[in-house]
Structure 1
Amino acid sequence: MSEKKSRKIIIVGGGIGGLAAALGMAETGRKSLVLERAPEFSEVGAGIQLAPNGTAVLERLGVMDEISKLAVFPKRLVLMDAITGKELTALNLEETFKNQYGHPYIVMHRADLHKVLYEACLEKGNITLLTNSEVEKVEDLTDRAKVTLVNGDIYESDAVIGADGIHSNTRKLVSDDQPVCSQYVAYRGTIPMEEVTETAGTNPDDVLMWIGPNLHLVQYPVRRGELYNQVVVFKSFKYKPGADDWKANDWGTPEEMDERFANTCPFVKHSVSFISRQFRWAMWDRDPIQNWTKGRVTLLGDAAHPMLQYMAQGGIQALEDVAHLTSMIHKYGDDYTTAFLEYQKERIPRASKVQTYARNWGEIIHAEDPISIMLRNDIFSKRGEYDFTYVDWLYSKRYESLVSL
């Protein structure tokens, strides 16, 4: 077994949340070690939406200028009926929206966001990034924390932040709960914009969400508008309760996707024909828990509050975690136990609410009962695109306190 190695802060996981956490710790003047299980720091997936409560944190971390070079600033979020092809409602994201919330709404490739955060970490002299470092066990030792890797290496530190995703080994320290399968599966991919002019429609700068019974399609441009991102989501009726198959090999197949989208409008069916069928993601979350912390160990991002993607808040909530955790360490210094408890005191109610709303929103957009669909669409038809009633709680400037000292 390797001899013990010491670090000020250890961050388990080198995804978006983990790298952002390292930048947050650097802001406080602390050294950190980021342990990534993969052979390289990279990001899986295609597009990501970043609302004002996320871009505010990226501004605080000092990376927004670089991100702006790669992002797209959409004009509207639009809900479309996947069956009739009609627009149901929209949210205008231009000047009024920006003035209301202080920061923009952007869309970009996940790999681009991850790369910006990674390069920002490399520029810091107090962040060490280590690959091929799969964590087997995390322990709170009262006066310090301990991380044991699968290869036998041991690291001790002042504190540990678990940002190791929905499969988090760090989470096992505070909860023995299991992930919850939604029965939905997603296919994701990007296409060169010049190849999909017809697919992108007449408003390629909009974020489009086509909704229908047990399915939806999301479309928007990424990478300065050079690529068009598409996410096809549907409920699989071939899923067997209790199955623990993250790759969804036996359910949610391309053949089932064609069956689910057979009754959609021609535009949606045409768009779905472009999607890559090689890879698919089963969609899981977890129930909210009431504690993320044990002594000098705490959780962040999907390790703490994995949520369904329907509100596009998963990565953003990780960024909110980073901002508030950083502020608490500024406030309480090396009293990590207090800092972590105060961090979760603010964050658990907020993140749990978003987790729950994501599930509820999924039920609303995927409604199959005709009466539910009629009532939903009637409510949508009565709001204007400058009506921020339904998003104000999420994007509110109240969360400016999380992104500034």
Structure 2
Amino acid sequence: MPLQLLVAGGGIGGLASALALAQAGHGVEVLEQSPVFAEVGAGIQLGPNAVRRLQMLGLADALDAIAARPEALVVRSARNDDELACLPLGKAALHRYGAPYCCVHRADLHGVLLAAAQAHAGIVLNHSARLAQIALSDEAVAVVTDSAHAWEGDALIGADGLWSTVRDSLPEAGDAPRSTGHTAWRGLLAQSELPAAQRSTQVRVWLGDRLHALVYPLRGGELLNVVVLAEAAPTGDARDWDQSTSLGALQRATGRCCATLQGYLAAVPTWRAWTLHDRKPLTGPAQMAHERIALVGDAAHPMLPYLAQGAGMAIEDAVALADSLRDVASAAVAVALQRYAAARWQRNAQVQARALRNADIFHAAGPLRLGRDLAMRLLGARLLDQPWLFNH
């Protein structure tokens, strides 16, 4: 008999979970606290591991319509623009991993998932539904929103992000999110308005002292996403992912960079910023599931964006969750969710830890920077490729 499942959060992880669960035959109620279903932010990178799962959800054509497939990942020095390493992507990634490496606008991916959820008869989307209470019993889980509306289901899936209310109901919720001391700036450029030398079909990365920057195409190459991540003082509200900022504030944080990178920074018409938070890597399955409650994405394992896998891990979670709950009766839900957590926590913890390690490598200064640059020049693609990640 199909389960009735509640998903808290209507972002990428929540909608991917709702779609995967509904395709497994269950009824799903999505509870989104915002008055509209929308996504903030700019570009995200999707490795072949995430793209394969979106294809499994029947979204291959929709993804192709919104994505750019970069030809290569090129790493350069932020000091002098020297090339340090290059990893072919494009057809090479498709051949190696059976799925492409894609770059998409976050709002475009959210729109694809939202359209698929709206078209599925097994999914009901509810907005302005902020969770206020969670009540757990042996037979069901019930939630009440701050508007006093109540829902009951066989399980509650927390996809409510870094500051998760659902996570707080777990016995091993752990400490609150921590400030990392890193700030991210982002902006968008229309490629048609750039001189030919600045247009790009690559993921370009510049590594500098206590910072790194990325430029990569979106929307089939129509746009360039520009991101700078630096070790800088927090700004604004810690929970605001879309703070207004300026080129001057960015330049004060980054200091002196090569002319090529400065050219991209100066071309961005409007900058937005957010202060990066994360949690310590997961230490066990109890941090991802308890009885009839499970977590996906940032609610379970927020991570620094230095492996470009935040969205990828949420999408992996969604498909794994649906697999664990396939053909499961209500009485066996808690066991199935423990099976899901046992299958996912180590993978997510590894990605969290690698992202933390990359922060040290990408932002290295002094002798460590010299050693990193030499290793990249000598080993090139062998250092940049991630078969453990993309083949999963």
TM-score bin, normalised by smaller chain: over 0.9
User: 2:164 aligned to 162, 168, 192, which one?
Assistant: 168
- SS of alignment partner, residue 6 of structure 2: strand
Give the whole-Å Cα distance in 1 for the aligned partners of 2:71 and 2:355: 23
- SS of alignment partner, residue 382 of structure 1: helix
Give the whole-Å Cα distance in 2 for the aligned partners of 1:226 and 1:246: 30
In the alignment, which residue of structure 1 is the partner of 2:264?
271
- Residue pair 1:54, 1:316 contacting (<8 A) in 2 also: yes
1:248–1:28 CA distance, 2 compared to 1 (3 A): closer
Once the 2 structures are TM-superposed, how far is the Cα of residue 96 of structure 1 from its aligned partner?
Answer: 3.4
1:37–1:276 CA distance, 2 compared to 1 (3 A): farther
1:252–1:350 CA distance, 2 compared to 1 (3 A): farther
Deviations 1:332-357 (A, max 9, x none): 44321111101110110000110011
Once the 2 structures are TM-superposed, how far is the Cα of residue 123 of structure 1 from its aligned partner?
Answer: 1.1
Once the 2 structures are TM-superposed, how far is the Cα of residue 20 of structure 1 from its aligned partner?
Answer: 0.5
Give yes or no for the alignment of 1:321 onto 2:333.
no
Letter in 1 for 2:165: N
Give the whole-Å Cα distance in 1 for the aligned partners of 2:383 and 2:327: 33
With the length of structure 2 as denominator, give the TM-score of the two structures. 0.92
In the alignment, which residue of structure 2 is the partner of 1:119?
115
1:278–1:220 CA distance, 2 compared to 1 (3 A): closer
Give the whole-Å Cα distance in 2 for the aligned partners of 1:140 and 1:197: 59
- Residue pair 2:244, 2:271 contacting (<8 A) in 1 also: no
Once the 2 structures are TM-superposed, how far is the Cα of residue 273 of structure 1 from its aligned partner?
Answer: 1.5
Bigger mean CA offset, 135-144 vs 347-356: 135-144
After TM superposition, list the pairs within 5 Å mapping 1:223-234 onto structure 2.
Answer: 223-234=219-230
In the alignment, which residue of structure 2 is the partner of 1:259?
252
Letter in 2 for 1:209: V
Give the whole-Å Cα distance in 2 for the aligned partners of 1:151 and 1:197: 52
User: 2:18 aligned to 5, 15, 22, which one?
Assistant: 22
1:327–1:260 CA distance, 2 compared to 1 (3 A): same
Give yes or no for the alignment of 1:312 onto 2:305.
no
Bigger mean CA offset, 164-173 vs 189-198: 189-198
Give the whole-Å Cα distance in 1 for the aligned partners of 2:243 and 2:385: 38
In the alignment, which residue of structure 2 is the partner of 1:181?
179
* Alignment RMSD: 2.2
Give the whole-Å Cα distance in 2 for the aligned partners of 1:286 and 1:37: 22
Over the matched positions of the two proteins, sequence identity in percent amounts to: 32
1:80–1:361 CA distance, 2 compared to 1 (3 A): same
Letter in 1 for 2:253: R
Give yes or no for the alignment of 1:207 onto 2:203.
yes
Give the whole-Å Cα distance in 1 for the aligned partners of 2:63 and 2:219: 10
Give the whole-Å Cα distance in 1 for the aligned partners of 2:240 and 2:92: 42
In the alignment, which residue of structure 2 is the partner of 1:359?
356
Give the whole-Å Cα distance in 2 for the aligned partners of 1:71 and 1:277: 23
Once the 2 structures are TM-superposed, how far is the Cα of residue 239 of structure 1 from its aligned partner?
Answer: 4.7
Give the whole-Å Cα distance in 2 for the aligned partners of 1:250 and 1:97: 35
- SS of alignment partner, residue 272 of structure 2: coil
Letter in 2 for 1:358: A
Deviations 1:322-375 (A, max 9, x none): 11111111264432111110111011000011001101101100012x210111
Give yes or no for the alignment of 1:394 onto 2:389.
yes
- SS of alignment partner, residue 183 of structure 2: strand
- SS of alignment partner, residue 39 of structure 1: coil
Deviations 1:120-169 (A, max 9, x none): 11111110011111112323212101111111111111111000000100
- Residue pair 2:376, 2:383 contacting (<8 A) in 1 also: no
Query: Following TM superposition, where does structure 1 have runs of at least 4 consecutive aligned residues deviating by more than 4 angstroms?
Result: 247-254
Unaligned residue ranges in structure 1 (runs of 5+): 1-6, 400-405
After TM superposition, list the pairs within 5 Å mapping 1:6-405 onto structure 2.
Answer: 8-174=4-170, 175-197=173-195, 200-201=198-199, 204-236=200-232, 238-239=233-234, 245-247=238-240, 254-277=247-270, 279-289=272-282, 290=284, 291=286, 292-330=288-326, 332-334=328-330, 335-368=332-365, 370-385=366-381, 387=382, 390-396=385-391, 399=392
In the alignment, which residue of structure 2 is the partner of 1:3?
none
- Residue pair 2:243, 2:272 contacting (<8 A) in 1 also: no
Letter in 2 for 1:191: L
With the length of structure 1 as denominator, give the TM-score of the two structures. 0.90
Once the 2 structures are TM-superposed, how far is the Cα of residue 279 of structure 1 from its aligned partner?
Answer: 2.9
Give the whole-Å Cα distance in 1 for the aligned partners of 2:158 and 2:349: 18
- Residue pair 2:159, 2:299 contacting (<8 A) in 1 also: yes
In the alignment, which residue of structure 2 is the partner of 1:403?
none
1:33–1:107 CA distance, 2 compared to 1 (3 A): same
Once the 2 structures are TM-superposed, how far is the Cα of residue 303 of structure 1 from its aligned partner?
Answer: 0.3
Give the whole-Å Cα distance in 1 for the aligned partners of 2:197 and 2:167: 42
Give the whole-Å Cα distance in 1 for the aligned partners of 2:300 and 2:168: 11
- SS of alignment partner, residue 288 of structure 1: coil
Give the whole-Å Cα distance in 2 for the aligned partners of 1:62 and 1:130: 23
Deviations 1:243-277 (A, max 9, x none): 97344999987544212333110111121123355
1:248–1:239 CA distance, 2 compared to 1 (3 A): farther
- Residue pair 1:239, 1:251 contacting (<8 A) in 2 also: no
Give the whole-Å Cα distance in 2 for the aligned partners of 1:389 and 1:192: 28
Letter in 2 for 1:188: R
Q: How many pairs does the alignment contain?
A: 384
Give the whole-Å Cα distance in 2 for the aligned partners of 1:355 and 1:252: 28
Give the whole-Å Cα distance in 1 for the aligned partners of 2:334 and 2:10: 23
